[in-house]
Structure 1
């Protein structure tokens, strides 16, 4: 097989890309009239790190956020196209390489997560486009000998009277212009592309198979590598015998690395077969050997102790025990895998003094230095190419850069060469980095007249951030991602307390789609429904009455979703139950109502109505898709999914036969309405997920009287 052409890109070290921050640095293109397109074509105009205008008039936007289906290629390109006054047909998108100039302004490093892609890029990318437009206009004014203020740009055509030009013809002259320090951007009433249902830039390539993922990459002489990891979390290699593995046709080497035993072969099949032939003795002295049930019991006992104060309002929980009525519930949430369609994989070319990596890197700002550190290379001699990825849901957002480290260790152990590291589906489901197993112990007190006297939510789980590079984000020893959504609720709870107890386990945990909100949204909204029912209140009106006066955006989505669903206060109509949930996460507000029936003891979700307020709707098509995707992903999770440890600590799930995804016939009809807003845009990749679980659970309880306190729902039926 011939060697694939490498993805080229402009690098700051080559002097062709100019750093762009807010405000844009007033640096010209170092006097260079020419830059280089990814195929090496001369004549490309690159006014900054994000925009390239080619001689054929195409505009390529360098996207600093990984694209794994959530839409940054399209969304960020829309911002550039809007300010550049380009035609959408000429827009292209390409992944930016690992480089500090592409840092996430919310993180301070290059990375994607927390639904921050649009929020941190909104003005940055608009100003990048505006700067390029200003330089093209200045070039046209110089070429034609006219005043730049008299020049217009529309759909990729620059005009003055009877003179017109496309972008490419002016690229060389535009490159000579001074980069404007703080270019003027449009007002909302001038938008032409922002707010329109533009087709996604990556859809065609992903549909016809021409899109390239790291799993698609092959090189002549490449070795495929799989690693035997400890079957129990915290286990380590005691000894191993590779003699049988080395007899497998195609297996060329076996090396021990810090993560386990790596098998190098001429094909994936041979590598896996060789791994199966290894004889490994494991040291489990520091391993997790408890079952899931035992871990839940330990967490439940910790919840009963109350934990540390994460938030105190008024008298907190002091008045609950003496109330006329005390409502209690314990919610149990299992470990969850991300299970993206494309498991972890990556390719490294390593030679003396340098290395180049291709992988679906969600945190290039961490993966790049990790590779350099393992291989003892200067960072400038390491290049990380960010590839399209087949999903993530948090799986590739590794604060420990564990996959990049393992890839580099594979190369280090074998020496210079080309290596492709592959994690199989089973490797990933067995490998940890799960959403933390969590217990919520909820209590509320009601006075004789039904007044809420106190609310308490004690959250118990492992910390994702503690002990790693993100530990600096902890607050007074507390990990806010563990209980976010249980605090700062929009409801006027006069007396409330949130507690948190941090637990320890060798099981590795990681951010999972919507992070803490994925369980806090469920626990708080289901428990609130229980409280409102005890008060004899309507679930929608009861929430509206509880909302603080300044929670106008929460109120807006809740009123809108009630209108969409024709809510009339009837929670059961015939054989259908209806439930509502409201939750804000990542500064995006979402309310959902679910229609549910009972099919063989399991919820069958027929329809979901969803109202979302995410500020300016840059591309409504992407927003609706992400809300629908969040509903589908969240629904499958609450109905079917859990990672369980057997007695002894080994994971029981291995592939989609035992870690079940929502099937197409189980996907409900989803109707999405986007609230018109002039607020700065916020993310949509995660906020659609938290409300679906509680909306379904509340509909199920209305229909059957059963409260889903232990997830998944299938646990009680064996479905």
Structure 2
């Protein structure tokens, strides 16, 4: 079952037909001069109100400096996936820039940097390129047209007589001028009403392997990540958090913590989900950590639910077997009882922490009427609103500087803004205590793992009836687990009739099977969140292993069985599977004794991936020898 996370109608309006000239604006150049372009997006999205249907004030997306460097403002978080290179590639392609002159810069929180499909500034949904493809290319094309117009005016020729190559405009009589030399003059040119984008066969950068803009800095240790950033006079803060979500501290030894060299102060603070903890302020991370260990904190968890993994699993198993639940998909399962063959299976999935390489961290500098935040966040708009609400400020009074991050997998995009909110609460407590100056809140690796917002635990129960001809005659399936979207801004579009779309995405399709699918949503005192491919992190494994089981019962080759269940539909799935099969030698390659092939295909966030693997069992454990992927983007 496929669910769309994005508003494709809004995406088509904002990108598919290209932006109008009104959507592109020249912005004030830097003190050093140059060409500075931005674009503004209409507020047509799922979260927009009628009054929002206007153009936001522009922010710079492109700067061409006199030294010929081209800086692209990246409206996403770079945390390893490569947008710091791929989005500049789009502009460089249409600009005809010299790749060695390209630079990237992460955008702060701002209306102009909002995702056109979500209506908020976000890095998520596996759509940074898809949703920025036209916008960034048009910025490059318009800048190129203005540079050509400036050169043509200086050389007293027509723009059609000029061409561009590697950061230079070339004239009909051998004239040459770098983009940097023309930047100031180009800034005075009118914005072109329309531009023609390149055809794919003309691409020099798009689709080609390119040197990553941030590769040298990262590989040499010079790249500054959020955890490296510390303003002058900032104190480092480590927090003692309750062992149960929402619990409150009742007692702690502040004197023992203050006795640690480097500890400046200890304060009781409000935390996410109504909890109360203790913040240790110090001159560095190590004294703050040592001070926390000296606290000997005691906690009151009497008012909150204490979740037991064993009890939860037992409850989930019972619910999975019981009738009922919210109906996600209906089908006749009356043939289950009379089916020639039956497959019954239970799948159990644990909570999963995101565990990015860089633990969570956030710097907050709180003033009387403003707040400045430095954080590697995927969720700038939401974080800005939450921070403003906690401080009694307007969102525009909160500045969020986006920092390079070391991984995230969804943990840096929290609807509750737990880690940003906690840092703001701590800065507020610091200021309320009569103190001034920025604070840097750092989570340890252990804090990160224990801190919550996990991929939910799930239990799947499947009963499948297969007839004498090997066909799936009935499939009754139930999923038990917490809803990720309930209580968030995404609930109105993602939770329908009690079914969270993220729980069931990937179920059923691409196979034509009579599946009766229900969901039992459970509330637990464990905060949950999307994790990597969200629903597909459990549904892909369930679907593909069950299809394999059915093929085994039917005594049919698993690839042929899959293709038969797809029918003539799902051409992309068939193409990806055929590619993996062809490149792997599946069915034709002789395998070593004890080795066997396996196949699977699944769609997630618009991409279809098929795998053919070669595996064996060694000492009772599976061993993977080879994997070949077929990908249809």
TM-score if structure 1 supplies the norm length?
A: 0.79
The residue aligned with 1:457 is: 477
Distance (whole Å) between structure 2 residues aligned to residue 331 and residue 532 of structure 1: 19
Paired residue secondary structure (2:464): strand
**In structure 2, do the counterparts of structure 1 residues 302 and 281 end up closer, same or farther at CA, with 3 Å as the change threshold?**
same
- For 2:36 and 2:93, locate their aligned partners in 1 and report how far apart those are by CA, in whole Å: 18
Matched, 1:341 2:357: yes
Of 18, 32, 35, 2:29 maps to 35
Residue 407 of structure 1 is matched in structure 2 by: 423
Q: 1:572: how far off? A: 6.9
User: What does residue range 62-81 of structure 1 map to in structure 2 within 5 Å?
Assistant: 62-81=73-92
Cα offset, 1:577, TM superposition = 2.9
Counterpart of 1:294? 311
Q: Distance in 1 between matches of 2:325 and 2:308?
A: 26
Q: Does residue 375 of structure 1 match 2:377?
A: no
- Deviation of 1:321 after TM superposition, in Å, equals 2.5
Task: Give the direction of change, closer, same or farther, for the CA distance of 1:502–1:29 in structure 2 (3 Å limit).
Answer: closer
Contact 1:47 1:131 in 2 (8 A): no
Q: Among 7, 20, 23, which residue is 2:19 paired with?
A: 23
Distance, in Å, in 2 between the alignment partners of 1:53 and 1:503 is 53
The equivalences for 1:436-585 within 5 A come to: 436-473=456-493, 474-487=495-508, 489-493=509-513, 495-568=514-587, 573-585=592-604
What SS is found at the alignment partner of 1:558? helix
Structure 1 residue corresponding to 2:180, chosen from 156, 163, 168: 168
Deviation at 1:347, TM superposition (A): 1.2
3-state SS of the aligned residue for 1:194? coil
Runs of 5+ consecutive residues of structure 1 not aligned to the other structure: 1-19, 615-719
Which residue of the other structure, out of 435, 447, 462, is the alignment partner of 1:427?
Answer: 447
In structure 1, C-alpha distance between the alignment counterparts of 2:484 and 2:248, rounded to whole Å: 22
Q: 1:108 aligns with which of 100, 119, 139?
A: 119
Verify: 1:281 aligned to 2:292, yes or no: no
Distance 1:571 1:539, change over 3 A: farther
Partner of 2:400: 384
Write the distance in 2 (CA, Å) between the matches of 1:508 and 1:170: 54
CA offset digits 1:245-267 (Å, max 9, x no partner): 22222211122222121111111
In 1, the alpha carbon distance for the partners of 2:563 and 2:611 equals 14
Matched-pair contact (CA < 8 Å) for 2:34–2:187: no
Q: CA RMSD in A?
A: 2.0
Q: What is the total number of aligned residue pairs between the two structures?
A: 587
- Please show how residues 285-364 of structure 1 align to structure 2 within 5 Å: 285-312=302-329, 315-364=331-380
* 1:126 aligned onto 2:137: yes
Partner Cα separation in structure 1 for residue 324 and residue 381 of structure 2: 34
Residue 166 of structure 2 is matched in structure 1 by 155
The CA deviation at 1:497 is 1.7
Does structure 2 retain, via aligned residues, the 8 Å contact 1:47–1:179?
A: no
What is the CA distance between 1:322 and its match in structure 2?
2.5
CA distance in 2, matches of 1:406, 1:569: 58
What is the Cα deviation at residue 378 of structure 1?
2.8
Alignment partner for residue 46 of structure 1, among 33, 37, 45? Answer: 37
The aligned residue for residue 11 of structure 2 is: none
SS in 2 for 1:442: strand
**CA separation in 1, counterparts of 2:597 and 2:569?**
28
Hey, what's the Cα distance between the residues in 2 that align with 1:138 and 1:306? 70
Question: Relative to 1, partners in 2 of residues 1:28 and 1:293: Cα closer, same or farther, differing over 3 Å?
Answer: closer
The 1-side partners of 2:328 and 2:162 are apart by: 57
- Determine if contact 1:490/1:548 at 8 Å carries over to the other structure: no
Distance across 1 between alignment mates of 2:183 and 2:419: 41
CA shift, 1:54, in A, is 1.0
Structure with more relative contact order (C-alpha pairs < 8 Å, separation 6 or more): 1
Using the size of structure 2 for normalisation, the TM-score is 0.89
Q: CA deviation at 1:568?
A: 0.6
SS in 2 for 1:336: coil
What residue ranges of structure 2 are gaps of 5+ in the alignment? 1-13, 40-59, 272-276
Q: Tell me how far 1:472 sits from its aligned partner.
A: 2.4
Asked if the contact 2:24–2:37 (Cα under 8 Å) also holds between the matched residues in 1, the reply is no
Q: Which moved more, 1:68-77 or 1:149-158?
A: 149-158
* Alpha-carbon distance in structure 2 between the residues aligned to 1:335 and 1:153: 54
Shift of 1:26: 2.4
Q: Return the offset for 1:469.
A: 2.6
Judged with a 3 Å threshold, the aligned counterparts in structure 2 of structure 1 residues 546 and 445 are, in CA distance, closer, same or farther, namely same
Contact 1:554–1:582 (8 Å) recurs in 2: yes
Q: Is the partner of 2:438 in helix, strand or coil? A: strand
Q: What residue number does 1:222 align with?
A: 234
Structure 2 CA distance for partners of 1:450 and 1:238, relative to 1, 3 Å: same
Q: Secondary structure at the match of 1:243?
A: helix
Pair 1:597 & 2:616 matched: yes
